[in-house]
Chain A
Amino acid sequence: MATTAQPSPASAPAHEGETRRDFIQIAATALVGVGATIAAWPFIDSMNPARDTLAAGAPVDIDVSKIQPGQQIVVLWRSRPIFIMNRTPDELKRLQEAQDTSLLSDPDSKALQQPEYAKNWHRSIKPEYLVLVGICTHLGCIPIAKPDPGSVEPNWPGGYFCPCHGSKYDLAGRVFAGVPAPLNLPVPPHNFVSDKVIRVGENPPGSTFDLASVEQL
């Protein structure tokens, strides 16, 4: 620092001058730093889903009256395949048999792969209508519906078979033990807005289930 013309004043005022100097410089650094951090947010947020993307992910209404018992339709919601299967009473009976449940990894749906209103033996709201996200929890292929017993292998109780690496699920989307897939097929939020219309993407009143909260899609 260059020397000044006058002699240095006593130490107390000099110290005061220093604290004032430090304060301004700290304030300056802090303001600039805060500004830079706040300025980053719009850019980061611009990468979040845009308004029109969110609007396109709005719930879809599906009329299930045309699905015959034993049949399944596939619809697209948020760019994912959604299986809606109309299960026959026979299939529902088989679902509860111990023979079937002993082969499963997670028969009681302990892992968070479904909303609380689908945490039951039929993994749905109404037993006849099963709604699943049709993406194998192994590596993401779309499993094929094979509801007929014996159609995949002897002792096949009926369910889903994934052609990519051989994962198997039962007619409630629960995964078999000993296959590559680790978890049951996820159940999306869905609600019966009328007797024959399922709204996929919306929870029944009182539930706040978010599909993003499942362990793995």
Chain B
Amino acid sequence: MVRWIDHRLPIFTFMKHELNDYPTPRNLSYWWNFGSLAGIMLVIMIVTGIFLAMEYTPQVNDAFDSVERIRRDVNYGWLIQYLHMNGASFFFIVTYIHIFRGLYYGSYKEPRELLWMLGLVILLLMMATAFMGYVLPWGQMSFWGATVITNLFSAIPVVGQKIVTWLWGGFAVDNPTLNRFYALHYLLPFVIVGVVMLHLIALHQHGSNNPLGIDRKTPQDSIPFHPYYTIKDMFGLFAFLIVYAIFVFFMPDALGDPQNYIQANPLQTPPEIVPEWYFLPFYAILRSVPNILFIPSKLAGVLCLFGAIGILFFLPWLDTSRVRSARFRPIYKWVFWLLVIDVAVLGDCGAHRPEGWYIFAGRMATLYYFVHFLILMPLIGWFERPRPLPTSIATTVMKRSSGSLAAASPVGKS
């Protein structure tokens, strides 16, 4: 039976090759679980989203009430809604950790540049999807967040305002906007699924990177994906689900904004307009940039916002080091943590009004972010003396398991 199907559509051979026998480095740490976690979160978001879509009404007078109806009247509606709401946050948590893993271990370097860029495309699609999804409950933050962000496009010279009107479908964020955001919010996750498949194909071309950053050379360097990484991914998944469940069941509103429990009122702006936490660093960058030469600060902010992600596309070339993993890069290791702190600072600035100390901090953090990628990465790559690389993955693993604490023996050039 299996052979009959496989002969006509080799799905079983494919699965055996890509999921079962697929050779994976034997030394992957738990930081490598986050890719599969992101995939699972995508599935959870799509499933919960489809069931929510069965009950939701994308009309300005009914949207807010339809969400409350889901929470109160639909069987288990409260559960599906909280899973979806918190799922967005957790999707971003695992994706950000996954990205920072890539930054630390040089997973973006040759031959994985395209893999990295596809990942960035997924990130951009996720951000668009999340932004539009947040508008759908039609709360105060939904409406005013949409107003602020869509207004950004008016910064584009000449055609800016026309583009904004085109996006809105009217004179302001209103029913046409809500309807089209709903249609696109339903569509984009499936586009993400497509790009994820490309991402996985690119991954399987050369296989996963590993904490040592060196290529697999001998068969002893790899182990089959099943059962080793299937069980490890399962374990990681359930450990992650515990944290997810704690938020969904015991603090479902902790990551959200109370203002969004008030129905959108176009005549009353909330005292603070704050995006969801996963957009805070970008929000800080957007607001930090002053007038630069002839570029007004609004346009400069928008350019820096997109530039912050755009710059990541060039990372494989900005990073001039020939060593992948930060384990063997003593200077870069510290600089990486500085970046993490910088992003945290940016996030904090995004959460507060741009007043007083926050203005200065936001500007310094934004400047540092670009300095990190444009100046520090190339320079460190050139001038750093990396620690000697180990011979192979297998030897490092053997050494570790036999109790030796000595550093990997230097064997010629890396």
Chain A contacts to B: CB under 8 angstroms: 28, 32, 42-43, 45-48, 50-53
Contacts and interface: CB of A to CB of B under 8 A. Distances in A.
Contacts of A47: 51, 54
| Interface of chain A, main secondary structure | helix
B340 interface: no
B80 A43 contact: yes
11 contacts: A28-B231, A32-B238, A43-B47, A46-B74, A46-B76, A48-B75, A50-B69, A50-B77, A51-B74, A52-B73, A53-B73
Contacts, number: 38
Contacts of A32: 234, 238
B233 to A, nearest CB: 12
Given A28-B234, A45-B76, A52 B47 contact: no
Contacts of B234: 28, 32
A43 B51 contact: yes
A46 B73 contact: no
A20 B76 CA distance: 39
Chain B binding surface SS class: helix
Interface string B29-65: 0000000000000000001000100110000000000
A53 B77 CA distance: 14
A46 B51 CA distance: 8
B79 interface: yes
A47 B234 CA distance: 29
Contacts of B74: 46, 50-51
B72 interface: yes
Nearest to A32: B234
A46 B75 contact: yes
Interface string B129-166: 00000000000000000000000000000000000000
A2 B399 CA distance: 16
A32 B74 CA distance: 27
Given A28-B234, A32-B234, A42 B76 contact: yes
A181 B76 CA distance: 40
Given A28-B234, A32-B234, A46 B69 contact: no
A61 B138 CA distance: 38
Given A28-B234, A32-B234, A46 B80 contact: yes
Nearest to A40: B47
Interface in B335-392: none
Contacts of A53: 73
Contact of A51 (B73, B79, B238): B73
Contacts of A52: 69, 73
A61 to B, nearest CB: 24
